[in-house]
């Protein structure tokens, strides 16, 4: 596999530091790349956006460390 991108490295470091991180659908490819490598797991939800400028539904990924269980 190719090396991790800078964005993947930053997200992985944040997950390792915080345990669980919520990100928007803009990071879908980043999250899925880390999942394919077996580094993280995630849950996805389709939620109402809190933005007044862009109302509507968005994807929200909750990314967590991969555990041995």
Reported as a single tens digit per residue, the pLDDT across 25-68 is 999 999 999 999 999 999 999 998 877 777 889 899 999 998 74
Question: Are 11 and 34 a contacting pair, CB within 8 Å?
Answer: yes
What was the pLDDT predicted at 61?
96
What was the pLDDT predicted at 51?
76
Question: Are 63 and 21 a contacting pair, CB within 8 Å?
Answer: yes
Give the list of residues 6+ apart from residue 36 with CB closer than 8 angstroms, or none. none
Average pLDDT over residues 12-16: 97
What was the pLDDT predicted at 67?
76
12 HSE (CA, 13 A, CB side): 16
Tell me how far apart the alpha carbons of residues 48 and 56 are, in angstroms, rounded to a whole number.
6
What was the pLDDT predicted at 69?
46
């Amino acid at each position: 596999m190719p090396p991790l991108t800078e964005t993947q490295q930053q997200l992985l470091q944040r997950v390792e530091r915080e345990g669980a991180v919520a990100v928007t659908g803009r990071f879908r490819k980043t999250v899925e790349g880390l999942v394919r490598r077996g580094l993280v797991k995630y849950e996805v939800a389709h939620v109402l956006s809190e933005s007044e400028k862009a109302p509507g539904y968005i994807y929200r990924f909750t990314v967590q460390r991969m555990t041995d269980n």
